[in-house]
Amino acid sequence: MYKIYNSVEILQDVDSAIKEKRPFSLLRGGDGTLGVFSVCFLNGFIKIGHWSTEPNNTNIQIRRRGKPIGEQLVKLLLDRVSIPWNRRIHFFQNTIQYLKDADYIDSFQNYSAGSIKVIGNQELAKNWDKILSGVGIDLTNKKFCDPRFNFFCMIKEQMNLFDIMKDRAVFCISNNKFPWLVQYSGAKSVNYFVISGNIKNIKGNGLYNQMNQINNTAIAANADLYLVGSGFVGRNICGVLRQNRKVVLDVGSLFDYWTGKRDDIPLPSIRKMIKFNPKTKCFHKLPGCTVEVL
């Protein structure tokens, strides 16, 4: 096991990075990235149980448990985010470099008991260190966040993202704008790159084709803090921003809660601990919760 830094420790580090004007990134690899690594670089020794929640053709093929990841399946996955097959190695080599550079990445060995059965394939969790070590990431020299950081960074009863955003310029990469965000967070300003296309479209949401425009727009914004919720390509966007000395967090599905697309938490282990409140735009600890929230 490795030390997992809790959300308050990480946010304190984010605050220091902004004050010190040093580059910073938190990237959450997700079971999708680990699975593709196993195909593109490690000969596909991992079997997939879960990749997508949308009831589409990709999901149907993925949910045939026991089937090894193969070229056809990976092509379907990459097609969803418009990554050309002949660019896959280049794309994921960049992802690996950005994970190496990142201040924090997530660890699949440190989910709470039982939750890995809900959100991903147990084989991925079991082979987490083998996959990352296999692509050249030094696990002995890395800081780790809980993969559920996107929930824990917005808990009302403790230091959260709004505290970090206060009096600062923020830039969000999302498929929506949040008109209330300046008022709720106290941010000095909030600017956006709004992702075009339908992220649920199996034919691709065009994110790969927008990456250069996203990166150039974000870099030019010169914000104090960048929040990224752009799915599969989000790790690469975060990596580019860090290389340009920005402070950036992959907040993933947090934006779905902020836009009202979600209000329930799909993970049973987390649902027992916190609940999203659309009025405060935060997660709140549930009464009587004795489990330490990371």
Q: Is residue 195 classed as helix, strand or coil in its secondary structure?
A: coil
| Nearest partner of 2 among 92, 137, 117, 159, judged by Cα | 137
117 vs 127, residue with greater confidence: 127
| 132 & 275 share domain | no
| 84 & 192 share domain | no
Give 222-275 pLDDT, tens digit per residue.
999 999 998 888 999 999 999 999 999 999 889 999 998 888 887 777 888 899
Q: Which stretch of 86-95, 116-125, 169-178, 185-194 has the lowest confidence by average pLDDT?
A: 116-125
What total number of domains does the chain contain? 2
**Among the three residues 145, 162, 191, which one is the final residue of a domain in this structure?**
145
**Among the three residues 122, 145, 168, which one is the final residue of a domain in this structure?**
145
Find out whether 103 and 25 touch, Cβ atoms under 8 Å: yes
Angle at 138 between CA 232 and CA 28, to 5 degrees: 25
| 23 & 156 share domain | yes
pLDDT at 176 over 80: yes
| 231 & 126 share domain | no
The mean per-residue pLDDT over the stretch 94-117 comes to 74
Helix ranges restricted to H, 120-196: 122-126, 128-134, 149-152, 161-165, 181-185
Residue 133 domain boundaries: 30-145
| 111 & 168 share domain | no
Residues 7 and 146: their CA atoms lie apart, in Å, by 8
| 137 & 203 share domain | no
**Among the three residues 102, 118, 145, which one is the final residue of a domain in this structure?**
145
| 101 & 126 share domain | yes
| 176 & 88 share domain | no
| 13 & 80 share domain | no
The reported pLDDT for the residue numbered 74 is: 72
| 268 & 188 share domain | yes
Residues 292 and 294: their CA atoms lie apart, in Å, by 6
pTM of the entire predicted model: 0.87
